Amino acid sequence: MSTATEQPSLPTLSFDNRFANLDPAMGSRLAPVPLPDPYLVAASSQVAGMLGLDPRMLQFSEWLDVIAGNRVPEGAQPMAAVYAGHQFGVWAGRLGDGRALLLGEVAGHDGSRLELQIKGSGPTPYSRMGDGRAVLRSSIREFLCSEAMAALGIPTTRALAVVGSDQPILRETVETAAVVMRVSPSFVRFGNFEYFAHFNQHQTLRVLADYVIDRYEPEIAARGPAATRTGASYAALLENVARRTASLMAKWQSVGFCHGVMNTDNMSILGLTIDYGPFGFLDGFDANHICNHTDQQGRYAYAMQPGVGEWNCFALAQALMPLIGDVDLAKQALSAYRETYDREHSALLLAKLGLRSAHPDDDTLMSSMFEAMQASHADFTLFFRRLSGVNPDDASGDGPVRDLFIDRAAADAWLAVYRARLATEGVAQAERAAAMNRVNPLYVLRNHLAEIAIRRASGLSAEGSPTSERDYTEVGRLLEALSSPYEERRGLEAYAAQPPAWASHLSVSCSS
């Protein structure tokens, strides 16, 4: 522990807040509401590095106060962005950052620009009925999953740290408050565009679109300055968003990630995974798996995600129509979605199966695989990971895969076809296995792993009984395992295992 006199002063992050200064209509300026006695729960040394910070600094009260909203760093211009959106397919009207504030934009270590946002920082003009807070449970989940997704190579907002406070927060039960500092090149969502389109603020809509083009779309920006842009440039923006979104969906599907709340206000214009709430990774394969207890219709079930991503792009297209002007241009731009999704999803599946080149019979190979997995609820992550042990020459390596199936005969039948398919590739076993292990993760943030870390951090044992103290070390250990998801390490067997029986009762909802 360090005494107050040893604490270094806050490094002067040099703020340059382009979004906050873009147009007063983008949101509301306001200060965070302080939280008493903040303490550090977890920090990402990788994200600290991206910001050129020494992660040890985050333990000091000056940083804890910045993250908890007790101190606004010099140069920051905190603001809540206004947006709207379609929630569960229905127009939801004005939403906005109801419990998050953008502090501002700083230069990353490599010169790229990153925005800092605190989530759980108190009420804003967009809080509606909410209290503006986030609880420790959901903050730990967001922190861990942001970093886990990044390590998987999946585009995502990042998380620098989670800070907790003993301030009580009422959800289904009384919990405690926490704040996550999120880091991203931008937090702009489809919903920001939908807001200005819906309320007929077309001039502001254009300011926002030009901002996104000028900052994040160098190829479109190079065609000419904002004042000269026509519908074709905004259609090109739509096309790029459609491509990025499709590519993100292909990646989610490839690791069994379910977002849970794919409302258009939770869709990033940069194609990043954003707003981690009731997300989950598939354990036993079920194409219809619904990870969000609140989603009774299964609108956002696993197999629905690619279609919902496309539907959301249509909602964005509608919002951009005042700028694009021509329906055919918009349709043409949107057609990039399916083309990108199909191409990228097929390529990812081929790689997961260790296949180098596509074959006309592969569709049958894949569909029969998913059918067998579905019937046995075979563990998604372990199935693909263990596939690297399958040998084309004989069935000696089939056992670990076979063990994941209740219907062993179905597994054997599929494995025989798969082995024959592998034989056509003529790639050495060791080489193929190594390539497969680079794309099929062993460690993903299964719900029960997050739950154990949360229980420990809340002063409970892994089984849920009270202990004498809160222990944040499990959050750190889990982060460490998830930070190298493709690299098998001794001692981490528990993080690769299927969920224990008690975990089948876990449910996650929108309450966070």
CB of 259 to ligand AMP, least distance (A): 10
Quick one: 85 or 392, whose CB is closer to ligand AMP? 85
Candidates 65, 210, 265, 283; catalytic one: 265
* Binding status of residue 141 toward ligand AMP by CB under 6 A: no
Residue 76: name its binding partner from ligand AMP, Mg ion, none (Cβ under 5 to 8 Å by kind): none
Active site (annotated) includes residue 265: yes
Residue closer to Mg ion (CB basis): 275 or 474: 275
Residues in the chain: 512
Which ranges in 108-223 belong to alpha helices (H)? 136-152, 190-198, 202-216, 218-221
The per-residue DSSP string of 246-290 comes to HHHHHHHHHHTEE-S---GGG-BTT--B---SS-EE-SB--TT--
44 contact choice in ligand AMP, Mg ion, none (CB below 5 to 8 Å, kind-dependent): none
Cβ–Cβ < 8 Å for 143, 181: no
* Dihedral (CA of 343, 291, 261, 212) sign: negative
Task: Give the nearest distance from C-beta 263 to ligand AMP in angstroms.
Answer: 6
The entry of Mg ion, ligand AMP, none near residue 99 (CB within 5 to 8 angstroms by kind) is: ligand AMP
Q: Which of 343, 314, 341, 342 is nearest to 330 (CA)?
A: 314
31: DSSP letter: P
In angstroms, the CA 145 to CA 128 distance is 27
The partner in contact with residue 318, picked from ligand AMP, Mg ion, none with C-beta cut-offs of 5 to 8 angstroms by kind, is none
Choice between 87 and 340, CB closer to Mg ion = 87
Closest separation in Å from C-beta 127 to ligand AMP: 4
Q: Residue 509: exposed, middle, or buried by beta-carbon count in 10 A (0-12, 13-18, 19+)?
A: middle
Interaction pattern, residues 246-285, with Mg ion; x per rule: CB under 5 A: --------------------x--------x----------
User: Strand, helix or coil at 381?
Assistant: helix
Binding residues with Mg ion: total (CB under 5 A): 2
| Residue number, 175 or 239, with CB nearest to ligand AMP | 175
- Report which of 114, 130, 244 is spatially closest to residue 182, judged by C-alpha positions: 114
State in Å, rounded, how far the first CA of the chain is from the last one. Answer: 32
The reply to whether 69 sits near ligand AMP by the rule CB under 6 A is no
For ligand AMP, the binding residue among 131, 310, 412, 480 (CB under 6 A) is 131
Contact 169, 106 (CB under 8 A): no
Q: Which residue is nearest to ligand AMP (CB)?
A: 130
Quick note: the x/- pattern for ligand AMP over 83-102, rule CB under 6 A, is: ------------xxxxx---
**By the criterion CB under 5 A, which residues form the site for Mg ion?**
266, 275
Catalytic residue IDs: 265
**By the criterion CB under 6 A, which residues form the site for ligand AMP?**
95-99, 126-127, 130-133, 261, 263, 266, 275, 277
